[in-house]
Amino acid sequence: MKVLKSYRSFGGHTEFLEHHSWATQTTMKFSWFLPSTPPKGCLIWLSGLTCTDENFIMKAGAQRYLEEHQLMVVCPDTSPRGLHLPHEHDADDFGSGAGFYVDAVTEGYRDHYRMYSYVSSELYGLIQNKFELGDRFAISGHSMGGHGALVLGLKEPAKFRSVSAFSPIAHPTDSPWGEKAFAGYLGDDKTLWAAYDATALLALGKRHPKEILIDQGTKDIFLTKQLKPEHLLAAKGTQAVDFRFQDGYDHSYYFIASFIEEHIAFHAQHLS
């Protein structure tokens, strides 16, 4: 693990790092904020399409609240980098910057696009060991990363004490973004698709023991075509979900910044 940049902030440190990943067989970048005392727990933040490890840590204003609760955040990049797979760099919604937090099975991609394993096993284990955190992990994310947070939380409830999301792609197998990405990473077998779809996982009976917090802006231009939270709410069964429509907010980091304090307080409850 190599620290590339380090900035003192709010008494702690915002840092940018890289390491060689066994899951993706590439160099992976990530950022973290470390509070001024040993962290009591770690929030894993998954970013959306086109993002890198920089967007959240630079724009969300989370450091103040993380320091307040003595939590760390770690923000992985959204895909492997430095490869030249077929069609990898053709569009914003597939390949680089668009890993969708799945383990790919298709030719070429299966050797590197293993973001599910990267986040839930490799990065998780690395942080867990370095900071002796046990299971004191929470997960959240935005858009494609909100999808990732819901899927990881529902599939691995023992690893994540709490789950939240901003504007998640709630039903990727029924969204143009999700269909394109899943076809590219997972091929034609739609039973495999369901394993990475929060709405399908809920319909299959997957549950997280704690209430899941979801914020969604009412003026989000992707709401009806791509995100479809109403599908998730219809499928949730006994899963407790605190779903909040936030009036007038859109899909941007200005929305995330406005409510990140509440998400961090929510996770802090479960992590301390």
The residue count for binding its own copies (CB under 8 A) is 23
Site for its own copies in 80-109 (CB under 8 A): none
Would you call 92 a catalytic residue per the annotation?
no
In angstroms, what is the minimal distance from the CB of 16 to its own copies? 11
Full DSSP string of 165-215: EES----GGGSHHHHHHHHHHHTT-HHHHHTT-HHHHHHTT---SSPEEEE
Site for its own copies in 133-152 (CB under 8 A): none
Q: Which helix (H) or strand (E) holds 128?
A: helix 124-131
In angstroms, what is the minimal distance from the CB of 177 to its own copies? 22
d(CA 176, CA 242): 26
Which entry of 142, 147, 251, 263 is annotated as an active-site residue? Answer: 251
End-to-end Cα spacing for the chain:
27
From residue 36 to residue 75, what is the string marking binding to its own copies with x (rule CB under 8 A)? ----------------------xx-x-xx-----------
Is 250 a binder of its own copies (CB under 8 A)? yes
In angstroms, what is the minimal distance from the CB of 70 to its own copies? 16
Q: Nearer Cβ to its own copies, position 173 or 258? A: 258
Q: Kindly calculate the radius of gyration of the chain based on its CA atoms and give it in whole angstroms.
A: 17
Among the listed residues 166, 152, 167, 240, the one whose alpha carbon sits nearest the alpha carbon of residue 197: 152
Q: Nearer Cβ to its own copies, position 59 or 81? A: 59
Q: Nearer Cβ to its own copies, position 193 or 249? A: 249
Is 14 a binder of its own copies (CB under 8 A)? yes
Is 244 a binder of its own copies (CB under 8 A)? no
**Strand order across the 212-217 sheet:** 2-9, 12-20, 27-34, 72-76, 42-46, 137-141, 162-166, 212-217, 241-246
Would you call 247 a catalytic residue per the annotation?
no
Which entry of 220, 231, 263, 267 is annotated as an active-site residue? Answer: 220
Site for its own copies in 169-228 (CB under 8 A): 217, 219
**From 81, 252, 262, 270, residue interacting with its own copies (rule: CB under 8 A):** 252
Which entry of 96, 120, 140, 143 is annotated as an active-site residue? Answer: 143
Question: Which range binds its own copies by CB under 8 A, 6-14, 68-76, 112-120, 149-157?
Answer: 6-14
Q: 173 near 78, Cβ under 8 Å?
A: no
Q: 160 near 137, Cβ under 8 Å?
A: yes
d(CA 70, CA 91): 39
Q: Which helix (H) or strand (E) holds 34?
A: strand 27-34
Q: Which residues bind its own copies (CB under 8 A)?
A: 7-11, 14, 58-59, 61, 63-64, 217, 219, 248-250, 252-255, 257-258, 261
